[in-house]
Amino acid sequence: MLHAVVMAGGAGTRFWPASRQDRPKQLLDLAGEGTMIQSTVQRFDGWLSAEQIRIITNQRLVEPIRAQLPQLTSSAVLGEPCKRDTAPCIAFAAAWVMQHDPDAIMVVTPSDHVIQPVEQFRRAIETGARMVEANPERLVTFGIRPTYPAESFGYIQRGEKIANAGLPSYRVARFREKPKADVAQQYLEDGNFYWNSGIFVWKAATILSLLHQYEPAMFAHIEAIAKAFDSPDFAEVFQREFAAIVGKSIDYAVMERAADVAVIEAPFEWDDVGSWQALARLRGVDAQGNTIVARHLGIDTRGTIVRGEGKHLIVTLGLDDCLIVHTPDATLVASKHAEERIREVVQKLDGADDLREFL
């Protein structure tokens, strides 16, 4: 049976001031179709039952996520005691799923991507699931055909084509880290590279077996947690054993080492919504190149993104290429070209005792 695992951690930094530690990106409505985690779960509506969907987040986000996803049972949302990267998260989720379905196939997806149309997403996942059913040792991921030489994404180099898969599918030749601009341009021109979507399909038992092989210390902690699932000491064991794990990404821990990894060329549109400038792609622009999600009066304003809340009026005059984000307790005004420095803002707030309330 197919089970969906949604990874929903997040620090709430890149979309400050709308995002905070208690309200990171996945809890925001950025695309205008509900919050990002709601849209992620809705992709499985009418396809998987509520019992086949699980959310892994951090402990402080458990209740906010449960409130946004009332269609799921409260036990479907579980918070990690601490942040330990994607490999421990996925390993724990695999053990959790196998407790209920030892033969489970998992689709693992982040909670903060925009994917359309849903029908093509489901087609891709079903193709991956069939490939795993045919070869239970195989790991499947999904590659996004690059449209520009992105430096902020990892890349997948495709190898030999896999016949009769249903969608263009290839053996993975190599995973590549986030490249510098000139290398990204080479990848784009080569034509055999995909952006790494971070979406996977595999048997839960297979990913645990590979973690046992490649990361035995990590696996030992996950195994101890799994043995305590139904015990009254579960919370204590979970806290102790998970905290003892040395964090590592699933790419480093397994994907780059496994012998049988396939990449399916994604038939869907994909956006990882990595910055405020993504709003221009998601919401469109007006005749002056502005993206407005607010009550707004713009005079001589071009190439500017404005996002507000409620009835608050934002007036812009004589602005080019700016970013304005207004919330009830904080406002950001910046050049769009300085957006990467929002992390600096969050760091400075974290270092100022009288300003930490805005994190």
Q: Minimal CA–CA distance to 4: which of 66, 39, 48, 62?
A: 48
Q: Which amino acid type is present at position 135? A: N
Q: How far apart are the first and last CA of the chain?
A: 41
The pLDDT value recorded for residue 240 is 97
Task: Say if residue 12's pLDDT is above 90.
Answer: no
Average pLDDT over residues 254-258: 96
Angle separating helix axes 234-243 and 216-227, nearest 10 degrees:
170
Pick from 16-25, 193-202, 299-308: least confident: 16-25
Q: Indicate the length of the chain as a whole number.
A: 359
Tens of pLDDT, residue by residue over 313-327, are 999 999 999 999 999
pLDDT for the residue 348? 93
- Above 90 in pLDDT, residue 175? yes
**Structure tokens, 319:** 């602005």
pLDDT at 101: 95
- Cα–Cα distance, 320 to 288 (Å, whole number): 10
Residue 10 has pLDDT above 80, yes or no: no
Residue 354 has a pLDDT of 85
Give residue 319's identity as a one-letter amino acid code: L
In the chain, % of residues over pLDDT 90 = 92
pLDDT-derived band at 13, boundaries 50, 70, 90: confident
How sure is the predictor about 9, in pLDDT bands with cuts at 50, 70 and 90?
Answer: confident
Distance CA 63, CA 39 (A): 18
Kindly report, residue by residue over 28-60, the tens digit of the pLDDT. 999 998 999 999 999 999 999 999 999 999 999
CA angle 12, 18, 20 (to 5 degrees): 30
- Report d(CA 98, CA 225) in Å as an integer: 13
Whether the predicted pLDDT of 77 surpasses 80: yes
Per-residue confidence band for 105, with pLDDT thresholds at 50, 70 and 90: very high
pTM over 0.85: yes
Per-residue pLDDT tens over the stretch 19-34: 998 899 999 999 998 9
At the topology level of CATH, where does 2-271 sit? Spore Coat Polysaccharide Biosynthesis Protein SpsA; Chain A (3.90.550)
Cα angle vertex 80, ends 77, 83, to 5°? Answer: 135
Q: What pLDDT, on a 0 to 100 scale, did the predictor assign at position 357? A: 87
In whole angstroms, how large is the CA radius of gyration of the chain? 21
The predicted pLDDT at position 250 comes to: 96
DSSP-based three-state secondary structure for 119: helix
Q: What is the pLDDT of residue 356?
A: 87
At a CB cut-off of 8 Å and minimum separation 6, what does 352 contact?
none
Instruction: Give CATH 3.90.550.10 domain extents, the chain.
Output: 2-271
Q: Give the H or E element holding residue 224.
A: helix 216-227
Mean pLDDT of the chain: 95
CA 43-48-52 angle, 5° bins:
115
* pLDDT band at residue 130 using 50, 70 and 90 as cut-offs: very high
For the ranges 236-240, 293-297, 343-347, the lowest mean pLDDT is seen at: 343-347
Tell me the pLDDT band of 208, cut-offs 50, 70 and 90. very high
pLDDT of residue 353: 85
Does residue 332 carry a pLDDT above 90?
yes
